Structure 1
């Protein structure tokens, strides 16, 4: 990198760090300075990405703010007949709108438009309404359309995408636990805990709970999911914690178990109390143990939570040269990708694709093509699951499905230079809350990055003997990255999608953020280590399910399996060896829909191929599915908390036929139905043929989180990572690197000691800079530009 650019970055960072909040100010300072350079001639920074016009409308884009408002108005029109109450006035016995999003567009409606002159498919809203006012209260999904709202718009039950037997209906006890549903339960919790405040104060350093809004309260609560098994029961297993920024890391040894079925609070009751690894079915038994001195606490939870902050900790020591700004990825030659920001469309090095967004899934990719050929119709996250382990109510009970919490709404502003490189392209995301629309600024970043390794390289000859020449060819490696980060409660999931110049596509997820921890129990090391004075890490799995709807050169694809098998054989030219082991490929095709795991020792190659399309050498064209880092599935298969509602997470891979009525692997309210799911992924496998059919590959990424002291204060992205690659497999006639100009062909003549090289017209960037004018009142010092 050129010295001037490094100096500019350092000056911007150092100046901003001592004056104003870094996020907005650093970015403004840097971009203002880079903008000044643009007016002075050639520059390494070329401003915004070049603009391209998307060839088609983004038919997967979310409904507009106006459409949302009009749908809201239509739903609340008495003539519609839904008898809705505004959420701010609603109780659990009312009907009210939970959320409005965009309905998944049917693929069979899209393809005639994408690939021909068919009309653009109509757009529909997707709505969840909590119907507590019905004789049998429930949650019901609807679809509303076509949009924009007109006389032709109708409101219909959204049943066709679910296979659990109730369509879009979810029993009341299994519906999302919003504040309105929690309201009638809270007085019971406050009363039960208030009655034993003397016990909790004595055991937990003065900590008491009288209700979240009571000024005397010095504890916070958390209750995991599921909250029901099949909808016929409702319960909360509540853990108490010391409140504060790091409350996830400061649990106390106390749990309250509540039965709370239905809408009538008179049916709610306290099931029991848990502390000291003992269960007490009622207050008298708990009080008797307390008075007998049987509940004394050996470990005291800290109230000071400064140790949980992700800030500078000088007590860890000083690292030499750490006061210098760290290396940064800069697009020195200018941006090499084009965007249509309105259509959310991107082109890069032969790739083209659309980006869409939903409140539950985050970003999704559609119509991914390489050099004009479609590879993938849809690539999207389907679920982010976490299942915990432990010998106490919260950890043992907890399974999270993060779509339940509307994962997409948690895509927040990315920090330029840290979450994403300086100069990245940033896009906003928007979603709808009631009758208005929310915008999360700079929640998606797009940038080209140096791969950190060459795409290809070889040195020919040694320069010795009769051939005095040494030649070396090397191609620069780069990829386009599209990234978001969702902070869902305690975890910050980083989702990165990388498009490599050879036509490969990589999906990567990393996890940082707070552990959901447990109180420290010395005899429970099998569930995790001690990570703080009174805190134990909780062993858990992260499983993230994705959907890849492959369309390799059309919708007729097959799933090819190339098994590496070891055989005993003889070869006539090795008579002295007799029989010896040799490996060979046994090539077959998956015949029926199936869920399965990676082969042992990875001794199988899985490809999606089009048997009707061959390359120049007669080989079937396809894309290989390459396992990357930490490709795992859910460890437990028969837990009552994830028995049938988490089927999508229980194998590495699955292959099904594409159907418009199977757009999602999971339901957003499935978490509270482990025994009777609204969406049962295992029912996707109904013995259909998958040979030369429209295939969907469902795959799981994730990590078995063996918690450690180094997860304090937060888990590190370096270790908590998982990835997969889709790579061309005979899709082309040769490697897709020969048409890249960013390369060097170097020739050395040992006889004449001469070196020549061809740069193919791509020279190192020259970055003149003129910041003689102060930038926001800050003048660069001469020392920044001196040699040495």
Structure 2
């Protein structure tokens, strides 16, 4: 059987190297180093990760399916007085459960258990009930516990986590738009669109007669927000050509409806938008149509094959592309251990617990390196997008993806593509009504080569033909936890990488379909034409995170070291007189605040413990290191994101840790831009942050400058953002000296040619036990070698 082409040189192929032209000292060194030792064969199939034993019970673990069903049964017990209707039978004037999830235990209750002999904190469920029967209908959150359900279990409002003044309550006009709430708007929308079906058919060759009518040839979408402060409610409805890629096939037609409250008789038409014009009534629209004023310059395609993520033979082919692409494989076996029951991980000095919620996806707790806690919590808080444009949908769209239960959309990944071959996969479980759903292979863990050495140095010259006397190099690697959430049109890839030097890197990437707009030549300021009648809509992605630092305890400070230019005189340079030098101006942040990365990166931010120093007397800490595309929201005073998106309006923020401030945002904040249920700006009330329990909130994201290369979907290579937490005097020296995966080479200079003596510290070069036979060597002008082998 004809096998894959193995690119590169392996030990079993070195006999053919003699046919190569001279490669220089470095390549000569590699060849001789390889031949100077025995390469032990290691199987490519390395099996599951070793088993770890968590030192404590995972107090942040999600509630179980059994807990979910028991809570459901309790809530539907008439004795509770909640007067619940089954969701399938409910109308907007009934009370019914929307979802059940987990409330993570408060930090003040966890630390005594985690660090001492304190009791195991009780577990509580988080429940959202839509209460349509009350005099002020809306949504109310409850906490139910302790779990498991028993004689001590109580039901009480979950109010303490929200600071907007109404606790866990959200008014009906601003509450989540589920199918039950949408159903009361559909009749008006259907009647209006049916009346003008002749117009839409003539203009777009498509019509809308309701979602279940077989004659309907359009699909609808209405974004958020749908209210400003909960006293009104509206829908700005876009129509698109239906199909798997409908995000890419909008038509130039919008229906605007006012729909406050629960009584459909009070709903009304606000107007229509097409051809860059607003028509307040059907009569106005029809008059313009009959006058020939609505002719469309561009026709939206009905074919969506161009927008599928499949092979496109019309683009041609590339040489060697029938061979598998390179893959990352954990040769030699997995170097991390997992307690699957407790979701506890150990890796090269790192240890941490993992948890999951339907809103925030994967979260991390009790992150330690070499037994010392760095972070109590690291968690995604919100994934936001705000659009811009001269059309109703683009102009008014702001998304908060927790509103759509981002964690629920973390689903199966493909081994070898989404995650490397041999990665460890985990499932996630979320609860819908009285049942639970398991998303299989939704999280993966894998160790990978960093793609560069962790440390390296080549020392001096010598009297041999080698241009050095010594060379030391250390392998760079990290363990990554990855999840991908497909929230509607976008696929967000969330990576958390734990590096062997003690640093943590958080990266987010975006792929998936653009939410596009209909194309008009004069609207290029909001994005380019990317298809036949489609414009890529300009927008921002802001992904907000929480990092609750506990650097060697909870008494932490945030040090700012600014680079400043000062004029100095130095007696050893008398001819220069006064000349500029840069130096560090160090200070501590004193109060809670939002702040931005310094221009030109001329400031360093370090969370440290002033009470604990390293061997050199320096406070031990961790630095916040900006990576790719660290940004905040462009528009700071938009009516669509006025006060409900305060977390997105700065690069960074620091606050005191409070159990009453577990989240930066409420998942239902999106429909309350003028009167948020949870106001992040109220976190910053002048409290001291010197030697206190600190939380750093940070944003990753992208200004999405849309382009033709976003077709069919946005590419992960460009749309990415990252940050790193790196030791800053946390240790006495770099954390690479205790790593055995390294090479130290000394040249014996006693002879003219020199002999390479190198130390491998007992770690052999890995090699799969798959030996190619009869290698065929091909030499290209660029010295690229290919061995085509029968495998």
Q: 1:327 to 1:498 in 2, by over 3 A?
A: same
CA distance in 2, matches of 1:425, 1:258: 49
Structure 1, unaligned runs of 5 or more: 8-40, 772-783
Offset of 1:104 from its aligned partner?
2.4
CA distance in 2, matches of 1:523, 1:173: 36
CA distance in 1, matches of 2:468, 2:302: 71
- Post-superposition Cα deviations, 1:600-653, rounded to whole Å, max 9, x if no partner, equal 100000000000000000000000000000000000000000000000000000
Kept after mapping to 2: 8 A contact 1:468/1:751:
no
Kept after mapping to 2: 8 A contact 1:99/1:128:
yes
Kept after mapping to 2: 8 A contact 1:337/1:347:
yes
Aligned twin of 1:70:
70
* 1:506-655 equivalence runs, <5 A: 506-655=505-654
Kept after mapping to 2: 8 A contact 1:591/1:689:
yes
CA distance in 2, matches of 1:389, 1:616: 53
Kept after mapping to 2: 8 A contact 1:557/1:610:
yes
CA distance in 2, matches of 1:119, 1:45: 43
* 1:220-259 equivalence runs, <5 A: 220-259=219-258
Offset of 1:747 from its aligned partner?
1.2
Q: 1:282 to 1:55 in 2, by over 3 A?
A: same
Aligned twin of 2:718:
719
Offset of 1:750 from its aligned partner?
4.3
CA distance in 2, matches of 1:469, 1:626: 34
Offset of 1:322 from its aligned partner?
1.0
* 1:22-421 equivalence runs, <5 A: 43-204=43-204, 206-421=205-420
Aligned twin of 1:781:
none
Kept after mapping to 2: 8 A contact 1:256/1:272:
yes
CA distance in 2, matches of 1:320, 1:466: 39
CA distance in 2, matches of 1:234, 1:47: 55
Does the residue aligned with 2:403 lie in a helix, a strand or coil? helix
CA distance in 2, matches of 1:123, 1:74: 16
CA distance in 2, matches of 1:400, 1:265: 26
Kept after mapping to 2: 8 A contact 1:468/1:750:
no
TM superposition score normalised by structure 1: 0.92
Kept after mapping to 2: 8 A contact 1:469/1:749:
no
Aligned twin of 2:762:
761
CA distance in 2, matches of 1:123, 1:90: 30
- Post-superposition Cα deviations, 1:55-75, rounded to whole Å, max 9, x if no partner, equal 011100100111100000000
Kept after mapping to 1: 8 A contact 2:5/2:323:
no
- Post-superposition Cα deviations, 1:442-467, rounded to whole Å, max 9, x if no partner, equal 00000000100000000011114999
Kept after mapping to 2: 8 A contact 1:493/1:511:
yes
Offset of 1:770 from its aligned partner?
10
Offset of 1:4 from its aligned partner?
9.3
Offset of 1:469 from its aligned partner?
6.0
Offset of 1:138 from its aligned partner?
1.0
Offset of 1:249 from its aligned partner?
0.3
Kept after mapping to 1: 8 A contact 2:498/2:504:
yes
CA distance in 2, matches of 1:320, 1:691: 60
TM superposition score normalised by structure 2: 0.92
- Post-superposition Cα deviations, 1:424-458, rounded to whole Å, max 9, x if no partner, equal 00000001000011000000000000100000000
Kept after mapping to 1: 8 A contact 2:373/2:551:
yes
- Post-superposition Cα deviations, 1:306-327, rounded to whole Å, max 9, x if no partner, equal 0000111121122111111000
Q: 1:762 to 1:282 in 2, by over 3 A?
A: same
Q: 1:785 to 1:52 in 2, by over 3 A?
A: farther
What is the RMSD computed on CA atoms of the aligned residues?
Answer: 1.9
Does the residue aligned with 2:469 lie in a helix, a strand or coil? strand
CA distance in 2, matches of 1:5, 1:520: 46
Deviates more, 1:386-395 or 1:750-759: 750-759
CA distance in 2, matches of 1:786, 1:295: 64
Q: How many residues align?
A: 743
CA distance in 2, matches of 1:275, 1:560: 54
CA distance in 1, matches of 2:313, 2:338: 43
CA distance in 1, matches of 2:765, 2:790: 20
Offset of 1:414 from its aligned partner?
0.4
Aligned twin of 1:23:
none
Aligned twin of 1:678:
677
Offset of 1:246 from its aligned partner?
0.7
CA distance in 1, matches of 2:345, 2:631: 31
Q: 1:237 to 1:579 in 2, by over 3 A?
A: same
CA distance in 2, matches of 1:544, 1:68: 29
Deviates more, 1:289-298 or 1:313-322: 313-322
* 1:485-500 equivalence runs, <5 A: 485-500=484-499
Q: 1:4 to 1:717 in 2, by over 3 A?
A: closer
Kept after mapping to 2: 8 A contact 1:548/1:696:
yes
Deviates more, 1:749-758 or 1:728-737: 749-758
Q: 1:258 to 1:172 in 2, by over 3 A?
A: same
Q: 1:5 to 1:58 in 2, by over 3 A?
A: farther
Q: 1:695 to 1:283 in 2, by over 3 A?
A: same
Deviates more, 1:671-680 or 1:468-477: 468-477
Does the residue aligned with 1:70 lie in a helix, a strand or coil? helix
Aligned twin of 2:37:
none
Aligned twin of 2:31:
none
Offset of 1:153 from its aligned partner?
0.5
Kept after mapping to 2: 8 A contact 1:104/1:663:
no
Q: 1:189 to 1:731 in 2, by over 3 A?
A: same
- Post-superposition Cα deviations, 1:70-98, rounded to whole Å, max 9, x if no partner, equal 00000000000100000000000000001
CA distance in 2, matches of 1:152, 1:609: 42
Aligned twin of 1:22:
none
Aligned twin of 2:23:
none
Aligned twin of 1:503:
502
Does the residue aligned with 1:188 lie in a helix, a strand or coil? helix
Aligned twin of 2:784:
none
- Post-superposition Cα deviations, 1:754-787, rounded to whole Å, max 9, x if no partner, equal 111100000012433599xxxxxxxxxxxx9847
Offset of 1:717 from its aligned partner?
0.1
Offset of 1:749 from its aligned partner?
3.0
- Post-superposition Cα deviations, 1:385-419, rounded to whole Å, max 9, x if no partner, equal 00000001000000000000000000010000000
Offset of 1:569 from its aligned partner?
1.1
Kept after mapping to 2: 8 A contact 1:468/1:749:
no
CA distance in 2, matches of 1:786, 1:304: 43
